Amino acid sequence: MIVRFFLALASAVLVSSGPLLAAEEAAPKEEESTPNFSESTLTGDWGGARTAAWKRGLAWEAGLKADVLQNRGGTTRGNQSMSHLELKFRADFEKLFGWSNAVAFVNINDDRGAGLNARRTGSLMGVSNIEVPVPTARLFHAWVQKGFFDDRFSILAGIYPIDSEFFTIDSAATLLHPAYGTPGDLALTRGPSVFNNAAFGVRTKWFSSDRTLYAMGALMDGIPNDPARPKATAVRFAKGDGGFFIAELGWMPLEQGHAFETTDPTAMRLPEDVTRHEQYEGISKYALGLWGYGSRVADLVDVDANGAALQRHSRGGYLLAERTLWNIGSEGGRNLTAFGRYSFADSDTISIDRTINLGMRILGPFASRPRDIVAVGWTRARLASKWRTQQAASGTDTVTAEDALEISWRAALTRWLAIQPNYQRIRHPGGTAAAPTATVVGARIEVTF
């Protein structure tokens, strides 16, 4: 129903784009900044229809990511390919219907290909952030957000992945390794609402008047979708699902006064003034967060007097920081940004109880390549002592941590096409002492339609 609603709105705007443009010519007004669809998408502006629709309150876009990677070491040597196709629809209800500071967003993902990590590498944290356990097409976002007090406070409700806003490190987003998105400890819990398995819930967010301070929290269904139907999209509140909560408090000093930026996590093409800000003014963010589940799960080792596993809550948190340190060259828009994140979780129910992410991003490594990105990241996942005890009981010798180094260069061939060679070296994949170090090489191709 939601998708059909947005498609109907898109069709209505396309049909009315001619009269809309004519009305604007008859009554000129101050030109607002819009996305540059002609240069930033493969299919262009559709003869001006996309720009007209955007001004009317509608936007749509599609993107494709495809990974071709080879693994040596780990479980077994071999090649694998994976693909991630996403369709996005955004509706600005203020422009469409006069409902101030209200936005709706739908995102459909189609993920295919056999997983490299599942079949080859055997890492606890994974190798590619588009790898999924079951190939499927499903809703990933389907929500409405309403803002209040000049959009300083907002409430969002619907199918919502927490990794679209919480614990994010923008300067690490280029890296393929999954641990630079959802922390490795949280990713291995019973069911966080993250890629590609989002749950229904409610998120609230607050900004200070100068947009430098923010606080947000979310309450989600504890088990996304229906585990019995892993390829389906389902909103269900089954007995035992419980709830999941997460809260984050942050400071972004370089965002002072930037009220022109959206407060919703739609991740669409940006207007040109926002694009310039993102490229030229750099990144600054410092945040801390806490999360936990309402329902209990079995302890990995401890049992009660009857020999049944003790039931415990899974909980954790994180600290993160990223900052643009200095500019490169004199022309602007080229810089170096460093990032770090430390996450922690209980050691009773999760195989990883500590994760450290460190790295840097170089935007525009050469003056002739201002949109290229070079990123380097290192991650260490410490293995929980109870998980190691559990493995030892089954005869598996483990180590204290799994480490992953990644080096990647995203070459922007155009604003809508990029190719990204990638190198990863994973030490002790799966936490097993006998597992050979895994070397992963390959590339990602990214196209925006």
User: How do residues 78-130 score in pLDDT, each as one tens digit?
Assistant: 999 999 999 999 999 999 999 999 999 999 999 998 789 989 999 999 999 99
Residue among 233, 244, 235 at smallest CA distance from 111 = 233
Its pTM stands at 0.88
Residues in the chain, overall count: 449
* 127 within a domain of the structure (yes/no): yes
Range of the domain at 368: 57-448
* 147 within a domain of the structure (yes/no): yes
* 122 within a domain of the structure (yes/no): yes
Of 19 and 430, the one with more pLDDT: 430
CB 370 within 8 A of CB 378: no
Calculate the CA dihedral of residues 231, 236, 238, 244 and round it to 10 degrees: 90
Kind and range of the H or E element at 300? strand 284-303
* 27 within a domain of the structure (yes/no): no
The phi, psi pair for 388, rounded to 5°, reads -65, -35
- Cis peptide, bond prior to residue 117, ω within 30 of zero: no
* 294 within a domain of the structure (yes/no): yes
What is the C-alpha separation between 36 and 448, in angstroms, rounded?
A: 13
The percent helix, strand, coil of the chain (3-state, each to 5) is 20, 45, 35
Q: Can you give the pLDDT at residue 32?
A: 65
User: How do residues 353-404 score in pLDDT, each as one tens digit?
Assistant: 999 999 999 999 999 999 999 999 999 999 999 999 999 999 999 999 999 9
What is the C-alpha separation between 141 and 105, in angstroms, rounded?
A: 7
What is the C-alpha separation between 259 and 255, in angstroms, rounded?
A: 9
Which DSSP letter does residue 210 get?
Answer: T
What CATH number does the domain containing 296 carry?
Answer: 2.40.160.180
Q: Can you give the pLDDT at residue 31?
A: 54
Q: Can you give the pLDDT at residue 30?
A: 42
* 250 within a domain of the structure (yes/no): yes
User: How do residues 45-91 score in pLDDT, each as one tens digit?
Assistant: 999 999 999 999 999 999 999 999 999 999 999 999 999 999 999 99
pLDDT tier at 329, thresholds 50, 70, 90: confident
Q: Can you give the pLDDT at residue 333?
A: 87
Q: State the amino acid at position 237 in one-letter form.
A: F
Q: Mapping DSSP to helix (H, G, I), strand (E, B) and coil, where does residue 361 land?
A: strand
Is the pLDDT score of 269 beyond 50? Answer: yes
Domains of the chain: total: 1
What is the C-alpha separation between 434 and 230, in angstroms, rounded?
A: 32
* 230 within a domain of the structure (yes/no): yes
Q: Can you give the pLDDT at residue 5?
A: 39
What is the C-alpha separation between 218 and 216, in angstroms, rounded?
A: 7
Residue among 440, 367, 375, 444 at smallest CA distance from 404 = 440
Which DSSP letter does residue 52 get?
Answer: H
User: How do residues 5-55 score in pLDDT, each as one tens digit?
Assistant: 334 433 443 333 333 333 333 333 345 688 999 999 999 999 999 999 999
Strand partners, 292: 245, 315
Is the pLDDT score of 435 beyond 50? Answer: yes
Average pLDDT over residues 151-162: 96
Kindly report the average pLDDT of the chain as a whole number. 90
Of 268 and 219, the one with more pLDDT: 219
What is the C-alpha separation between 179 and 265, in angstroms, rounded?
A: 20
* 8 within a domain of the structure (yes/no): no
What is the C-alpha separation between 370 and 280, in angstroms, rounded?
A: 11
